[in-house]
Amino acid sequence: MQTLILNGSPRKNGDTAQLLQHLRKHLTGEIIEISAYYDNISPCIDCRRCKKTGICVIPDKMQDIYNTIETCDNIIIASPIYFSELTGRLLDVASRLQTYYYGMQKNGGHPVKKSKRGAVILVGGGEGDAQIAYDTAVRILHYMKAKEVYPLICSHRTDEIPAAEDEKVLDEIRKAADFLQL
């Protein structure tokens, strides 16, 4: 069982990190975590080379992620909510999935062979609602062929209660881990 985690938080021990630590306790197998802030992944520059070749030419860590997207069983998107969305840095990483968009246009089918399961873990101080960020995350997961996605998990009162103390969310994460390992 291989799980890819895309972490959109800049806080190394913040709310997202705490929830991911909890998730790790319940997940077996290999876990590969990518930091949208610290892994130096360039955004898509819309050079359109992938439109012709199906391959992204930017030589950075995203190349490893493309390989992991091929092989993994699960993908988790975990992020703080910023202005009701995923963080900008995480959207930058997601923009590199444009190569799959062109791949789908060209082949009719999905360029990633193996279907995956997905889950979305969000945290927010308490402003607005989490639906926009969740919908974006689900779209991004679909781009990576994570078709079956667990319902929204969101600790949305972190200004008052740290996510690590949000018992309902901790329980949901345990259930999501069961879903991912079915």
Ligand X SMILES: Cc1cc2nc3c(=O)[nH]c(=O)nc-3n(C[C@H](O)[C@H](O)[C@H](O)COP(=O)(O)O)c2cc1C
Residues in touch with ligand X (CB under 6 A): 9, 11, 14-16, 80-84, 123-128, 156, 158
Burial of 114 (0-12, 13-18, 19+ CB in 10 A): exposed
State the nearest-atom distance from the C-beta of 128 to ligand X, in Å. Answer: 5
Residue (15 or 149) nearer to ligand X, CB: 15
State the nearest-atom distance from the C-beta of 82 to ligand X, in Å. Answer: 4
Cα gap 118→75, rounded to integer Å: 5
Query: Looking at beta carbons, which residue is closest to ligand X?
Result: 14
What is the DSSP annotation of 80-107? E-BTTBS-HHHHHHHHTTHHHHHHHHHH
State the nearest-atom distance from the C-beta of 95 to ligand X, in Å. Answer: 19
Residue (82 or 102) nearer to ligand X, CB: 82
Query: CB under 8 Å to 128, separation ≥6 — which residues?
Result: 81, 84
Which residue type does 58 have? Answer: I
Tokens of 180: 């991912």
Residue (9 or 98) nearer to ligand X, CB: 9
Residue (110 or 157) nearer to ligand X, CB: 157
State the nearest-atom distance from the C-beta of 88 to ligand X, in Å. Answer: 9
